[in-house]
Structure 1
Amino acid sequence: MPSDTTPSPVASSFAVCRDGEAVPGTLKGAVAAIGNFDGVHRGHRHLIDMALTSGKPAAVLTFEPHPRSFFQPDKPLFRLTPEVVKLAIFARLGLAGAFVRRFDHALAALNAEEFVHLLAHELQLSGVVIGHDFHFGRGREGNPARMKELCDKLGLKCFIAPAIVEGSEPVSSSAIRAALETGDIATANKLLGYRWFVRAEVRHGDKRGRDLGYPTANMRLPDDCRLHHGIYAVRASVDGKSVDGVASFGRRPTFDNGAPLLETHLFGFKGDLYGKTLDIEFIGWIRGEERFDSIDALIAQMDRDSAQAKRMLVEDRTPSMIA
């Protein structure tokens, strides 16, 4: 499947195999793309596409927590796709399933040969797909050439994917994080190949939006989220239906300057969303968060923000990765 096309419907047979679990029959002999896959961006999709066209059942092997969080627990990592979101995206790409290995001291201690032995015997793979800069094994001792050598010894196929480049730079999770941290949704979505989205439960708020004429669905995003505070054009998935809207992510400086909160106003929507889990896709950046001297000034700006969001939503052609 080409990397930049609309994803396939979610396969009901998508399987997840974790540590200590028997390999499902649908994943035995699979070719697995290996990586952290934070963001499941266009570069990751190229690896997955190679697995999908291998002629064998296609899977991914990914790790939780993210290895960087394991090695640097004092430095919170802005996760583009927490595990539940990452698995939801995998399930839409036509894969047979995913192997999720716990990244802990035992896994980090495996040398390169032991790691490939795990792939062949514990996961029962018939092949792997890795990136051109993939490193593995204790101290990152293994590289693509070493992977190919070890796979050949054990009868595994080894496919090495080239870098996917945007402009002069490789597509990377780091570049996407940097874009989101500045509110550059257009660049983030271009690198991802789909609209970046968050998933969270709608919680009760102070109901202030109702008084302003803009009722909102309020959601707490993970503490590591470093999305730039501001106003965005968004699209929500509500009970399987797509609803356009405008959202504010930030501390509400006009009112309480409190903990960061995503507040989404859905155009024309009437209903109770409390307790529901929503996917909110980010379509475009409108402006930074501001403090207003009066409620009237705030409402007037919200009117302008809504009009701009509607224009952005009409013009948007970026593929979606949610149902």
Structure 2
Amino acid sequence: MEITHKGNTLKIIRGIYNFNSVNEDTALTIGSFDGVHLGHQMVLNDLKAAALKRGLKSAVMIFEPQPQEYFSGEKAPARLMRLRDKLKTFCDSGIDIVVCLRFDDSLRNLTADAFISIIINGLYAKHLIIGDDFRFGCDRSGDFKMLQNSGKLNNFTVQQMRTFDVDDKRVSSTSIRKALIESKFDLAAKLLGKPFEVVGKVTYGAQVGRKLGFPTANINLKRYRVPITGVFAVTLRIDKKVYNGAANVGIRPTVGDLLRPILEVHLLNFSGNIYGKLVSVEFKHKVRDEKKFINIESLVDNIKNDINWVRKWFIEQNDV
């Protein structure tokens, strides 16, 4: 499978049994790359430079589900980015190959030696860029030193992954989630290298907002869990146009609890049909936490207040 975007082509290989489509030596890095933040981007640039210097293809190995999701299930941290958007970002970054392995019992029980064999014989890795705390194989028995020793025997080199600091603090997916939960969207954008956004298609919902007098665009999240909940001032981008809006991420407790949070956006100064359109929602400011009101009338009053608050906030930002 291949995807092309902005003139770049990315080959996507799913599963160990499709490794036969790799027919060139590679420079390889391995990780979750959740959010593809500034630290990740530095690693990708180092990877491309190493590949170019050695005449190799640049390759990234990721896992689905992510290891934390496999071990912790619903208790795992929410993702910063969907797989689809992650692959698009890899493509935009100029990476040649992404290897997506299913993290399951079979992979979990793979020995460290067997995992190294996959890297050498399946992906033809000649150069690895790995964090010095990287662990792999059954019971996490493989480490950076083991890869270095194996490299000396099997003709590949191992490079330690650099860390990227902002304001003397290491950039990580965890630190970005923390910034988002604390509603520090400017900080999150600084660490990500771009504003935090959720991308998805507008779908038909239960029409609850429309029935209450506040039509909303329902963004299809499928299985994606947004790392934040509450009411927010947002912008929504569609067809290269940007609209201001008020968004709710949550389970709508007043009108009937949902099993999973949904994202609904009420657009200011907009009337039109955008069902089926792919949109991106950028979070600007948190208004309040989601709460359960005593009745529908109270909910409606609070929605009016939220929308008025958001409208005034955008005016104060000189962005009406």
TM-score by length of 2: 0.81
8 Å Cα contact 1:248/1:264 also seen in 2: yes
Give the Cα–Cα distance (whole angstroms) in 2 for the partners of residues 35 and 208 of structure 1. Answer: 41
CA displacement, residues 84-135 of structure 1 (integer Å, 9 cap, x when unaligned): 2221221221211311111122222233332222112111223221123212
Give the Cα–Cα distance (whole angstroms) in 2 for the partners of residues 163 and 51 of structure 1. Answer: 14
Aligned-residue offset at 1:157:
2.7
Structure 1 residues 150 and 88, CA gap change in structure 2 (3 angstroms): same
Number of aligned pairs? 306
Letter in 2 for 1:159: Q
Find the residue that maps to 1:284 and give its secondary structure: strand
CA displacement, residues 34-68 of structure 1 (integer Å, 9 cap, x when unaligned): 10112212222221111121113322111111112
8 Å Cα contact 1:176/1:188 also seen in 2: yes
CA displacement, residues 190-237 of structure 1 (integer Å, 9 cap, x when unaligned): 222222222333222354545777532012535672533322233333
Give the Cα–Cα distance (whole angstroms) in 2 for the partners of residues 36 and 228 of structure 1. Answer: 20
Structure-2 residue corresponding to 1:6: none
8 Å Cα contact 2:80/2:226 also seen in 1: no
Q: Select between 53-62 and 296-305 the one with higher mean Cα deviation.
A: 296-305
Alignment of 1:296-307 (within 5 A): 298-307=303-312
Give the Cα–Cα distance (whole angstroms) in 2 for the partners of residues 311 and 154 of structure 1. Answer: 62
Unaligned residue ranges in structure 1 (runs of 5+): 1-8, 316-323
Structure 1 residues 166 and 72, CA gap change in structure 2 (3 angstroms): same
% of aligned pairs identical?
Answer: 29
| Higher helix residue share | 2
Give the Cα–Cα distance (whole angstroms) in 2 for the partners of residues 223 and 59 of structure 1. Answer: 27
Structure-1 residue corresponding to 2:221: 221
Structure 1 residues 160 and 104, CA gap change in structure 2 (3 angstroms): same
Structure-2 residue corresponding to 1:69: 69
Q: How large is the RMSD of aligned CA atoms in angstroms? A: 3.1
Structure-2 residue corresponding to 1:3: none
Unaligned residue ranges in structure 2 (runs of 5+): none
TM-score by length of 1: 0.81
Structure 1 residues 228 and 70, CA gap change in structure 2 (3 angstroms): closer
Aligned-residue offset at 1:147:
1.8
Structure-2 residue corresponding to 1:321: none
Aligned-residue offset at 1:14:
1.3
Give the Cα–Cα distance (whole angstroms) in 2 for the partners of residues 223 and 64 of structure 1. Answer: 13
Structure-2 residue corresponding to 1:21: 18
Letter in 2 for 1:90: F
Aligned-residue offset at 1:252:
4.1
Structure-2 residue corresponding to 1:161: 161
8 Å Cα contact 2:82/2:224 also seen in 1: no
Q: Select between 14-23 and 290-299 the one with higher mean Cα deviation.
A: 290-299
Structure 1 residues 294 and 99, CA gap change in structure 2 (3 angstroms): closer
